[in-house]
Amino acid sequence: MDISKYNLTIKRHAFEQAIKRGIHPDMIEQTLLKGRIKKLGKHGVKFINKGSKKNIICIGEIIGCELKIITIEEGD
């Protein structure tokens, strides 16, 4: 999926929580650009990037031409 077609919005709370969890903004960008995509219901989407040290998961929703990231977390 090419995310350049969408207006990307990362919620402030999600970004603050990512920083507290030690997830660097470059890791978030790499997850959105090169991560595996899984659909969740009608509008939900999950980006998963498995790294050597951390697995980063970005959960969001696509409504119209806007991609809104709601939460960013570390996975197993």
CATH number of the domain enclosing 12 = 3.10.450
Count: domains in the chain: 1
User: How far is 13 from 64, CA to CA, in rounded Å?
Assistant: 22
Classified as helix, coil or strand, 69 is strand
User: Structure tokens of 17?
Assistant: 């929580």
User: How far is 72 from 58, CA to CA, in rounded Å?
Assistant: 5
- Domain interval for residue 8: 3-75
Q: Is the pTM of this model over 0.85?
A: yes
pLDDT tens digits along 13-71: 999 999 999 999 999 999 999 999 999 999 999 999 998 888 999 999 999 999 999 99
Output the pLDDT for position 46. Answer: 96
